[in-house]
Structure 1
């Protein structure tokens, strides 16, 4: 009996507490970070969204993107064409998903409940949580490489530090120290809530943006122009089974797929927007314009550096080390390298916090609402980096990383189902109160699962999974049709899953899919928003009928079945 009391006491202490006056009920389906966001918590203006997309652009992978397409055999103009088209499509697909958060102020975690069912939503959530765990660890490792450059710039002898790890450890001491330092420096940012991201976004945009431009100008000045890389023409092998058109399609598919996880969680952050206009301006100006410019700057810098050093350096840490001659360069060179590598490192740090840790925290909150909020979930995701052991993945299992990069094969069908359900079946109408309960909920379906979503999702990735397998295995003579399907995996997955889901709902219809609440139960909408959505504003609720809240000047009175509670 004593043990039971102690366990009960511990349970009560670790459970989340919500502010009932702000409708932050904490139960099996809801907590403060899952409810529809009220106007007071919607703090993101256009610059927040500019910064959100900037951290996905001002990074190592986007800097190196042209190299991917040049390696495929495309010319420089063709590579830049692929990047422009990819960015436009990313902005389009992101807006399609994020619009749900802009209107109803719910995120990916809750959004899937009306498509998959209350319990079925755990299927897409589990995929995202797994990805967040692994990519968080990988990003920590990549950030650690940049920290190692910073340490070398400060203490040149760090580059020659003795490797104390044995031959069975797939890393070196300096790499591991960089990872540890990056991980610990990132930890304080886990306490930031998305409402307060503006200042870090501003620092990232100014520091890394100015650093990239300065780096390009320096390279062009020293090289006195661009190098031969800039004039690279098409180099597709004569015997290649794929022509220019298919390689461009493959590049576009890869470009969209690289940000597929960010597309799925668009509503997690769009729900913080003060207005739709803020989202549109910030997303277009950053996702498209900044994304293309960073790739162009990376291409120009790598080309000019080729003229300076005689070889192509696409990986910024490698080029930075060469610029200061592994720490043996002048103090001016080391100071410049420190400024650049620290800017890249801070960007990688906050990109990881925002795109992986915070996103992972929101998804974990959906699984365990009573005990996990964004902050706790972000901490769990970040600590999991030590369990994942990224040094094993990066330095040994390159095939595994290739599989992760191609995970859009499974995410695109999710996006297709979400878009079809919201825009075509539900006519952009959601009953918010039914997303947070299982009793008498329109979204409980059959034992908590909307079985229609499962075959629709499988049909989306089944045609392309074979191409993924042969590509990752690097088969010498793979079936051409399989590879071609894989080169269009994102679009195929999106449209097939959307069509199958639509057909299943026509054959096996769900009743009253376009219902909404009569009243604004959670205080989600401003008066203008409530009028646009078609619900009664929070202040004008009836005494009887649907469970609702009435605001007074001093307190909130909850009315249920005609009785004040």
Structure 2
């Protein structure tokens, strides 16, 4: 009886798919994992502009210049690092996302032809772990903005009595803001990626205007910028690091900070109507908007230094100061409310899009029978409570530092992905082989391509020592280790890519560079099929010299399709 009920429950919660749309549900496939058909590719250039704008219009990007000024760099040097870093982010994100633009599959499936169907769980599990933890941390940080909004309405909220036990490293004030941010974010989980245009439009305009308003107000009140704007180079003469190494450290930090988003770029690029839409939206936002937000943050902070006599890099702290912790005028509190709400709204959708939805796609790759994007996103959001961000942010500072440096492990994954797709496979893959374990080129050895594992390890092995001594706060760390760590992203990317290429050259395997000659999943438009040399299954064509208009040709054509499927 128990086994019968369990079987009935499994059948009830198992996903269903439209077989006519090739949405088969099994251990490797469901509707959100198959190559996207043209009908679901709805993203134009503004979608990608909005996607990257979410990453730009946030608190961490606003604070970026502070990090480099604290290294001793001048304002001009700090902005130069930001310009170069954002340009490299744009380049690497486009490089990784091209597979999704060409073949319309996401990161979850993309890794199957590189790591093997079972081996793909290695990068997948890393991404899932990051999605869980970053989703939790962003919910906590967003909660601070919600707390500012509440204080703007009810000033007494900021002075409320702490009712939480001393064992919890937080206060009731912070915890209430976190809970409300989490609850208000939940409705976004039910918006499918195909329908993201409106949220992108609202959040981009709202937060963008809010940031510009802060800059105009601060410059108007201060009648110019403060001394922070003219900060020159302050690297001590006895510093063990010269200007160029500090700039390299900054560039590596910018790329590493968004490495998780770069790695799974195909999850969203596959929704593009055309590659030019992705490129245009990414360049305009990831690079241009990203640099402008950092510049606005620097201008506002410098002007507010002149107004308040202190430097406020963190927007929640600055907003509280602007309304005197709720004791300011009603006009000041109203202005702060709308500004904080803009930051919070952007933070909500950025978290849902960049962490929850991305986590949903990755979880769907682990349990395709039972999890799609929506269910996986909900599960990722529920995991926020398991991660307990109040412990991570307020107590485990070292853990958060390690998490921020996780690009040490992600950049080698990217290096392997790029070399495999561009150099080894020449941009060609067999889509139908990505969803089965028999008669496939991507099963390798018991489902694992062993070549990817040592290549990945060789990428992070040289830089892990620098991560350990840096996070550990060693007073005199070995310079060689630290230098490698300052170049961790580039070292990991190129070392792993090179090793993977050599291993495939020494130990080649069949099927490299082959592709399906028939559009099995009806993925491509006629123009795409023609450029790829793929025959669309619903059109009479010449296939390997076979005239599919003839009866004999049709029989041969059907045989080829059956073998491909």
Same fold flag (TM > 0.5):
yes
- Give the corresponding residue for 1:195: 194
Equivalent-residue separation in structure 2 for 1:27 and 1:542 (angstroms): 31
1:108-507 equivalences under 5 Å are 108-507=107-506
Q: What is the CA distance between 1:355 and its match in structure 2?
A: 0.3
CA distance in 1, matches of 2:470, 2:560: 60
> Deviations for 1:373-430, whole angstroms, at most 9, x for unmatched residues?
0000000000000000000000001110000000000000000000000000000000
Instruction: Judge conservation of contact 1:531–1:537 (CA < 8 Å) in 2.
Output: no
Structure 2 residues without counterparts, runs of 5 or longer: 550-556
Q: How does 1:9-28 map to 2 (within 5 A)?
A: 9-28=8-27
How many Å separate the matches in 2 of 1:489 and 1:14?
43
Distance (Å, rounded) in 2 between the aligned partners of 1:284 and 1:323: 34
Match of 1:555 in 2: none
Cα RMSD between the aligned structures?
1.7
Asked if structure 2 preserves the Cα contact closer than 8 Å seen for 1:544 and 1:562, the reply is no
Contact 1:74 / 1:233 at 8 angstroms: preserved in 2? yes
Change (3 A) 1:320 1:94: same
- Equivalent-residue separation in structure 1 for 2:171 and 2:7 (angstroms): 46
Q: Is the 8 A contact 1:544 1:560 kept in 2?
A: no
Counterpart position of 1:101: 100
User: Which residue is 1:553 aligned to?
Assistant: none
What CA distance in whole angstroms lies between the structure 2 residues aligned with 1:543 and 1:130? Answer: 47
CA distance in 2 between partners of 1:441 and 1:85 (Å): 42
1:373, 1:287 → 2: CA distance? 28
1:145-186 superposed Cα distances (whole Å, 9 cap, x missing partner): 000000000111101111011222100001000000000000
Instruction: Extract unaligned runs of 5+ from structure 1.
Output: 551-557
Report the 3-state secondary structure (helix = DSSP H, G, I; strand = E; otherwise coil) of the residue aligned with 2:142: helix
- TM-score, normalised via structure 1 length: 0.96
CA contact (8 A) 1:544 1:561 kept: no
Please state whether the residue corresponding to 1:475 is helix, strand or coil. Answer: coil
Identify if the C-alpha distance between structure 1 residues 71 and 563 changes in structure 2 by more than 3 Å, giving closer, same or farther: closer
- Distance (Å, rounded) in 2 between the aligned partners of 1:385 and 1:240: 41
* 1:554 equivalent in structure 2: none
2-structure distance, mates of 1:262, 1:328: 40
Determine the structure 2 residue equivalent to 1:49: 48
CA shift for structure 1 position 8:
1.2
1:239 Cα shift? 1.7
Q: Tell me, in whole angstroms, the C-alpha distance in 2 between the residues paired with 1:156 and 1:447.
A: 62
Deviation, 1:541, is 6.1
Displacement, 1:539?
1.4
3-state SS of the aligned residue for 1:272? Answer: coil
Q: Report the CA distance shift for 1:543/1:223 in structure 2 as closer, same or farther (over 3 A).
A: closer
CA contact (8 A) 2:535 2:543 kept: no
Normalised by the length of structure 2, the TM-score is 0.96
C-alpha deviation, 1:543, in angstroms: 12
Corresponding residue SS for 1:417: helix
Secondary structure (helix, strand or coil) at the match of 1:56 reads helix
Identify the residue that residue 7 of structure 1 maps to in structure 2: 6
Q: How does 1:56-75 map to 2 (within 5 A)?
A: 56-75=55-74
Q: Paired residues, what number?
A: 554
* Residue aligning to 1:532: 531
1:518 shift after superposition: 1.3
Q: Write the deviation string for residues 275-313 of structure 1: whole angstroms up to 9, x where unpaired.
A: 111111100000110000000000000000000000100
Separation in 2, partners of 1:381, 1:127: 14
Deviations 1:98-150 (A, max 9, x none): 11100000000000000000000000000000000000000000000000000
1-side partners of 2:540 and 2:53: how far apart?
42
Give distance in 2, aligned partners of 1:356 and 1:525: 29
Counterpart CA distance in 1 for 2:4 and 2:192 is 34
Return the alpha-carbon distance in structure 2 between the equivalents of residues 192 and 478 of structure 1: 48
Give distance in 1, aligned partners of 2:472 and 2:196: 41
Q: Distance in 1 between matches of 2:538 and 2:222?
A: 67
Structure 2 Cα separation of the partners of residues 501 and 221 of structure 1 = 56
Match of 1:88 in 2: 87
- Alpha-carbon shift at residue 562 of structure 1 (Å): 8.2
